[in-house]
Amino acid sequence: MFILVNLKAYPCDPIEVATAARDVAETSGARIAVSPQAADLARVAETDVETWAQHVSPNAHGSYTGSTLAEAVAENGAEGTLINHSENRLKLADVDGSVRAAERADLETIVCANNPAQVAAAAALSPDAVAVEPPELIGGDVSVATADPGIVEDAVTAAEEVDPDVDVLCGAGVSTGDDVDAAADLGASGVLLASGVAKADDPVGVLEDLVSGI
């Protein structure tokens, strides 16, 4: 199971979370990555935690003020990137462009989707993985794997029917080891979470609980 912690724009200490994730990953053998703000990518990568960008833009070098260039993200230590998060939605053509930009920079990709139909559309673009995240559960206290297990199972089936090589993660409300176990039981290859770790008083303790069943 892959655990990706998205720090969004929360007022947390990215280095504290990154260090906690690195230490728990080393101790447990679990794969844990942290996705900080673009401005913090290099600092987070210097902790030796697996580092992911929150977004890359669907463009190459050129006159693109305000874009997040895939090559720049990679040069600053990112190994992968989220694309089309529910809080930063893109048109399908731009999702495709961002996936291609990430591939050009040798970044792994996770395309976020709201439901199984969108998962199928995203899988057709051949990212490394898709993440199903019902928007109404994002930031809540109930995991999607508990609140709506059918959507996770249907997302796994939808991706498999389009491209069996595309992994499926689930997000929204994930915060405990039980949530991770439930996601695995439903066929997910990993989880995407944010506030459960980013807002925690004890990130190490939360991360240790998350990997306890892995």
The overall average pLDDT reported for the chain is 93
Q: Average of pLDDT values for 152-170?
A: 95
pLDDT at 175: 82
pLDDT at 143: 64
pLDDT digits (tens, 9 = 90+) for 121-147: 999 999 999 999 876 655 556 566 666
CA dist list (Å): 161 to 3, 89, 132? 24, 24, 16
pLDDT band, very low/low/confident/very high, at 173 (cuts 50, 70, 90): confident
**pTM of the model as a whole:** 0.94
Q: Average of pLDDT values for 49-57?
A: 98
pLDDT at 161: 97
d(CA 113, CA 171): 10
Q: Which of the residues are catalytic? A: 85, 133
